[in-house]
Amino acid sequence: DQQVKQNSPSLSVQEGRISILNCDYTNSMFDYFLWYKKYPAEGPTFLISISSIKDKNEDGRFTVFLNKSAKHLSLHIVPSQPGDSAVYFCAASGDTGGFKTIFGAGTRLFVKA
């Protein structure tokens, strides 16, 4: 039972263009959605998050959009840089204090110079 789905295993983008990574979820009880970035041989690191009461959160080149009615979120990276090449994981969690964080399968982003 995959509660968080990332249907694109990989994405290739030209440097300077926009990268759009997508994520779908099934559980309407999730309160927060997070994106993590992972380089090889390292643990994932937090990138950006959004509360379910918002529909957009922006941090520099990174913007996360949330569509609750569609149970869909996306991460936009613009402009994309070669250093952004990594695996991106979408994650969802409920109330802090008791609801475990569930991760998607990840999308490998390649940014070509």
Q: Which residues bind other proteins (CB under 8 A)?
A: 6, 31-34, 36, 41-46, 49, 51, 89, 91, 93, 96-106
List, as one string, the DSSP characters of 2-54: -SEE---SEEEEETTS-EEEEEEE--TT--EEEEEEE-TTS--EEEEEEETT-
Nearer to other proteins, 18 or 55 (CB): 55
CB-wise, 2 or 14, nearer to other proteins? 2
In the complex, least distance from residue 17 CB atom to other proteins, rounded to whole angstroms: 26
As given in the structure block, the two tokens for residue 111 are 């940014």
| Residue 89 β-bridge partners | 36
Query: In the bound complex, what is the minimum distance in angstroms from residue 45's beta carbon to other proteins?
Result: 7
Calpha distance 13→8 (Å, rounded): 13
CB of 20 to other proteins, least distance (A): 19
Q: Which is nearer to other proteins, 96 or 113 (CB)?
A: 96
